[in-house]
Amino acid sequence: MISKSKYLVWLFAGLFLLLLGIQVYFMYKTYQVKKRDIYASVLSKITKYIDNLEDLGELNVHKSNDSKDVLTKFADKEISKKEFLSYFDEHRNKTKNRLSDYIDHQFEKEGYKVATRIVYLSVISIPDSTKLIDKPIILYETRNKVVKPGISQTGKWETSSTSTSEKGEKADKNDSFIVKSQTDFEILNINYIVFKELTLLILCCIALLISVLLLYLFTIKNLIKQQKQVEVLHTVVDNISHEFKTPIATLKIASKTLKKEYSPEIFPLIDRQISRLEDLMLQLHAEESEEENSTIQPKDWDFFIKDLAFTYPETGFELKNSVLSELPFDKKLMETVIKNLCENSVKYGASQIKIDLKTIQNKLGIIVSDNGNGIEQKELKNIFEKFYRIQSNNIHNSKGLGLGLFFVKKIIEKYNGKTDVSSVVKEGTTFKISIPYEH
């Protein structure tokens, strides 16, 4: 189930990243479309008044006889290249402020900061096809410089003029030029304008992503919580199922003994095992209860060992009980500790088990030692883990679920006690437990 949940988590994460990618792509495409729309609207306005620059007064080089005369004089080599270029520099500087004010006024309402320029790309004299310029010449330019043109528009036309004599008579010479020009413009604050207009859409997308992310985190949190609840449920079921095994086995043996012969000790043993089964049943309905069922009396320790001796007649149990007073520990839990340790010894080949109980300075000491197979040092740190079982050549040689010592550790921790274990292979194992208590 945990593995399946991990796959679902990764699937959810993948889908969220996919949604994030789609949103980013959508916003990018929307940004591009909006940017193109703004440039298109600006282009339509600019085209109208760039084509009618005479409205600005003396700005239209296309229709200015002076500009044609300059081209003619330069083509006839009546003026130098320096004078030719100087004319356009002066003309550009003269019209810069008026052109800038005019464009700023056109887009003042929209808040666009527009930079534009008109450039002569080439000027060819007809009919000899002489190129008058070897690099572009800027005719008009606003105070704001065009850095990266958003749109460039090119045009090509033919202009002509007739030369006149000094007396004012028409001459036979007709000067014609093919002019190729380009209009560049850029909206310097385009990013601000676009994001401003898309603010609501961006906020909606962010809100959607945050909502999905919160839903994702909430789902993961609930999933972790449910997994913990499942683990707790499994622990309770494991505990109960493990604890049922011993009293059931003991009752089976007692039943067989009764069939053979009557013994006055059998009935108290059966009563104790039935009582233990009842206590285990109560755990199913009160696994979260912290209340202790009862205290433990000195004679109860003896009964624990008697039950074990009856259940495992081939194993010798030696009890040294120095506990002479009632102790504030749950009887059922202490029975679990003693029996799980002893049954673990039986499981791993012990024929003799010694149990030493004593109280020193408000501490209960429990020592369980055996002459079993022993445990390798590398295994000692793992024996208290849930479901862990000692392996030999990757083969489990003993039956069980690996829960006995796990329960022992949990019970000792409940009472803030300590557990130490030492073992020698083929010689045996010793568990030493110390549990503090108050009267």
Q: Which domains does the chain have, with CATH numbers?
A: 2-164+172-197 (no CATH), 292-436 (3.30.565.10)
pLDDT value of residue 391: 57
Is pLDDT at 318 greater than 70 in this prediction?
yes
Of the chain, the percentage scoring pLDDT greater than 90 comes to: 16
pLDDT value, residue 50: 65
SS3 291: coil
pTM: 0.45
Of the pLDDT bands very low, low, confident and very high (cuts 50, 70, 90), residue 46 is confident
Residue partners of 280: CB distance under 8 A and separation at least 6: 240, 243, 244, 247
What band does 61 get if pLDDT is binned at 50, 70 and 90? very low
pLDDT bucket at 334, cuts 50 / 70 / 90: very high
Q: How much is the pLDDT for 62?
A: 41
Residue pLDDT, tens place only, 199-219: 898 888 888 888 888 887 888
- How far is residue 30's CA from residue 372's CA, in Å, rounded to a whole number? 77
Least confident of 13-17, 374-378, 425-429: 13-17
| Residue 433 binned pLDDT confidence (cut-offs 50, 70, 90) | very high
Q: What tens digit of pLDDT does each residue of 69-124 get?
A: 788 888 888 888 888 888 888 888 888 888 888 888 888 888 899 998 888 888 88
What tens digit of pLDDT does each residue of 350-361 get? 999 999 999 988
Q: Hey, what are 104's tokens?
A: 């700023």
With b for 16 or more beta-carbon neighbours within 10 A and e for fewer, the 134-171 pattern comes to eeebebbbbebebeeebeeeeeeeebebeeeeeeeeee
Q: What is the pLDDT of residue 353?
A: 94
Distance CA 384, CA 387 (A): 9
Q: Which of 242-251, 323-332, 367-376, 377-386 has the lowest mean pLDDT?
A: 242-251
Q: Is the pLDDT of residue 324 over 70?
A: yes
Q: Is the pLDDT of residue 169 over 70?
A: no
Mean of the per-residue pLDDT values of the chain: 80
pLDDT band at residue 64, thresholds of 50, 70 and 90?
Answer: very low
pLDDT at 397 over 50: no
Question: Other C-beta atoms within 10 Å of 92: how many?
Answer: 18
Instruction: Indicate the pLDDT class of residue 395, thresholds 50, 70 and 90.
Output: very low
pLDDT reading at 66 higher than 80: no
- The reported pLDDT for the residue numbered 407 is 85
CB 159 within 8 A of CB 179: yes
Look at 138 and 274; give whichever has higher pLDDT.
Answer: 138
Mean pLDDT calculated for residue range 287-316? 79
Copy the structure tokens of residue 125: 């004299």
Mean pLDDT, residues 370-380 taken together: 89
Does the pLDDT of residue 393 top 50, yes or no? Answer: no
Whether the predicted pLDDT of 301 surpasses 90: yes
Q: pLDDT value at position 287?
A: 44
pLDDT of residue 415: 92
In sequence order, what are the beta bridge partners of 130?
125
